[in-house]
Amino acid sequence: MSLSKLSQFGTKHVAKGIARLTPEVFAEGSGSYVTTVEGKKLLDFTSGIGVVNLGHCHPSVTKAAQYQVGKLVHGQVNIAFHQPYLSLIESLLPLMPHKSLDTFFFWNSGAEAVEAAVKLARHATKKQNVIVMQGSYHGRTFGTMAMTRSKTIYGEGYGPLMPGVFPVPFPYCTQCSIRQQSDGKFGFENCCMDPIRQLKLLLKQQTAPSETSAIFIEPVLGEGGYVVPPAEYLAEVRKICDENNILLVADEVQCGFGRTGKMFAIEHWNVRPDILIMAKGIANGFPLSGIVSRKELMDMQKPGSMGGTYAGNAVSCAAGVAVAKAFKDEKILDNVTARGAELKAMLTALQKDPKTSKIIYDVRGLGLMVGLEFTPGSGAAAKVQAKCMEQGMLVLTTSVFDTLRFIPPLNITKDDMAKGCEIIKTAIQEVAG
Ligand code: PMP
C-alpha cells in the first residue's frame, strides 16, 4: 500500500482522539533514526516521547527480548514469580536513588504505575487526598486524568474526574507572575520559592494534612514545559512532607532512567522520595512500568489487592534487565552529559545571537532533557518543529507555552548530535527571519 493509502486507512479506522505529529508511517527504527514506509530516514529527537533511551532496536535489548520470547512470554505474576521479574529487581536495586527503595511492583504503562502509587499512598497513610503540581502530566487513564494539569484537553468533556486532587504551582520561574510584575523588588529567589508558600497555604486552606496522603511531583516537569526547579525547592517539599506525615512521590516516568544525566532526576537534589514511579526508558520500548517504595509501606497492602494480567510481562522485564546492563557497559550517563552540553551550548549561543535572540525566551533542562521556550505569542515552536520535519528531523513541542523539547536517544553519537544541532539552528534562524 502507498503512503497515502496507508494514511487514509489509518485516518478511517484509528480513533480520532489520538493526535499525530506527522502523516508519515514508520516501518523501522535503528539507533537515533526511524525509517518510513517510503524509505525516508528521520533523525529522531523524540525517542518516541522519551522511551527508546538507548535508541531504536538497541542490539542487546533486542537480543534479550528475542531470547525471552522463545523461553517464556507470559509468566503471570498473580500465579507465580517469574525469572526475568526477579532479575529485573536485582538489576534495579543498585540504581535506586535511595537504599530504602527496595520493594517493587511492576505494571505496563506510566499512568497505571501512577495509579498504583495513589493506591499505595492512600492505603499506607489511610488518607485520601493527593497534591499535584500545576503543569504536571501523570497520564490519561481515569484516575490520572484528574492529576494531569498540563493541558485542559486531557480532561475536557470526560468528567466528572476523580475527586480529592489538589493542584499547587510548580516553580516555573520564567512564567512566574511575581517575577514578571515585580522583578527586582521581589527578586528571583522569592519568586521561585513562592510555590512553597502556596503549598503551605494549600495545606491550611484546602486539604488538611490529616486528609492528605501524598504530594506527586515530577522532579523535572515534563509535559508542563521541561522546567527544572530551583536548587532548594525539592528539599523544602520533603520537609513539608515530613512535618505533615505526607508521602513524597516522584513521578520519574519521563525524567528518570538517565534522561537528565543521573539515573533518576531526584538525585540532582539528593532528596529521598517515599515512592518512585518509573516507566518509558525502563525497557526501551517494551511496555513496562513500576513503582518502588520501602518494604514497610508496600507490605501494608493486602495480598491480591494489587496485580494485573500483564503486569510485569516477562519479555518486557528481560528487556529491562538488558537496559540496566547497557547503562553500565556503555557508560550512557557520560554520553548524556557530553551530548546534552553540546545541544545546550548551541541553543544558548542562539539565545545570545542578536539575529535569533528576539524569539528565544529561555533555554533550560538537564542532560538530554532540554527545553527551548520561545517568546510568548511568537508561535515559533510549531514553525521550528515544521522546519525540522522538512529537514528530516522529528522534534516535539511541550506545554501550553511556546516550547520545544529535545529528547534524543541517550546514546546518540557526537555526529548525529551535530547533525541535529545544525538542523535546529537553521530552522530557528529561518523562523527568526
Ligand atoms: N507521568 C509522566 C511524568 C509522563 O511524562 C507520562 C507520559 N508522558 C506519564 C506519567 C504517563 O505514562 P503513559 O503514557 O505510559 O501512561
- pLDDT reading at 193 higher than 80: no
Quick one: average pLDDT of 356-363?
96
Q: Tell how far the Cα of 252 is from the centroid of ligand 1, in angstroms.
A: 9
Beta-ladder partners of 374:
360
Please choose from 254, 264, 316 the residue to mutate so as to test ligand 1's pocket, defined by most ligand atoms within 8 A of CB.
254
110 pocket-lining for ligand 1 (C-beta < 6 Å): yes
- pLDDT reading at 187 higher than 60: no
The secondary structure of residue 271, as a DSSP letter, is -
- More confidently predicted of 194 and 223: 223
Q: Tell how far the Cα of 290 is from the centroid of ligand 1, in angstroms.
A: 12
Q: Tell me the helices (H) and strands (E) count for the chain, helix number first.
A: 14, 15
**Of all atoms in ligand 1, which is nearest to the CA of residue 251?**
3
Confidence of residue 4 (pLDDT cuts 50, 70, 90): confident
pLDDT at 1 (0 to 100): 81
270 vs 273: CA distance, rounded Å: 10
pLDDT at 179 (0 to 100): 62
Please choose from 130, 133, 138 the residue to mutate so as to test ligand 1's pocket, defined by most ligand atoms within 8 A of CB.
138
CB neighbour list of residue 75: distance below 8 Å, 6 or more residues apart:
81, 82, 83, 84, 85, 314
What proportion of the chain, given as a percentage, has pLDDT over 90? 92
pLDDT at 153 (0 to 100): 97
195 cis-preceded (ω within 30 degrees of 0): no
Q: Work out the mean pLDDT of the chain and round it to a whole number.
A: 95
The secondary structure of residue 150, as a DSSP letter, is S
Quick one: average pLDDT of 217-238?
96
pLDDT at 173 (0 to 100): 82
Confidence of residue 162 (pLDDT cuts 50, 70, 90): very high
pLDDT at 199 (0 to 100): 96
Quick one: average pLDDT of 71-89?
97
186 grid coordinates: 521581589
- pLDDT reading at 184 higher than 70: no
405 pocket-lining for ligand 1 (C-beta < 6 Å): no
Number of CB atoms found within 10 A of residue 41's CB: 12
- pLDDT reading at 292 higher than 80: yes
- pLDDT tens-digit readout, 39-70: 999 999 999 999 999 999 999 999 999 999 99
pLDDT at 10 (0 to 100): 94
101 vs 156: CA distance, rounded Å: 36
**Of all atoms in ligand 1, which is nearest to the CA of residue 111?**
16
Q: Tell how far the Cα of 274 is from the centroid of ligand 1, in angstroms.
A: 19
137 pocket-lining for ligand 1 (C-beta < 6 Å): yes
257 pocket-lining for ligand 1 (C-beta < 6 Å): no
Q: Tell how far the Cα of 140 is from the centroid of ligand 1, in angstroms.
A: 8
- pLDDT reading at 186 higher than 60: no
Residue nearest atom 10 in ligand 1 by C-alpha distance = 138
pLDDT at 180 (0 to 100): 63
3-state percent helix, strand, coil for the chain, nearest multiple of 5 = 45, 15, 40
pLDDT at 177 (0 to 100): 67
138 pocket-lining for ligand 1 (C-beta < 6 Å): yes
pLDDT at 181 (0 to 100): 60
Quick one: average pLDDT of 15-37?
96
- pLDDT reading at 267 higher than 60: yes
97 pocket-lining for ligand 1 (C-beta < 6 Å): no
- pLDDT tens-digit readout, 360-406: 999 999 999 999 999 988 999 999 999 999 999 999 999 999 999 99
Taken in order of first residue, the domains within the chain and their CATH numbers are: 3-54+331-432 (3.90.1150.10), 62-329 (3.40.640.10)
279 pocket-lining for ligand 1 (C-beta < 6 Å): yes
- pLDDT tens-digit readout, 321-339: 999 999 999 999 999 999 9
Please choose from 53, 106, 136, 137 the residue to mutate so as to test ligand 1's pocket, defined by most ligand atoms within 8 A of CB.
137
pLDDT at 174 (0 to 100): 81
Q: Tell how far the Cα of 276 is from the centroid of ligand 1, in angstroms.
A: 13
Quick one: average pLDDT of 227-245?
96
Residue type, 391: Q
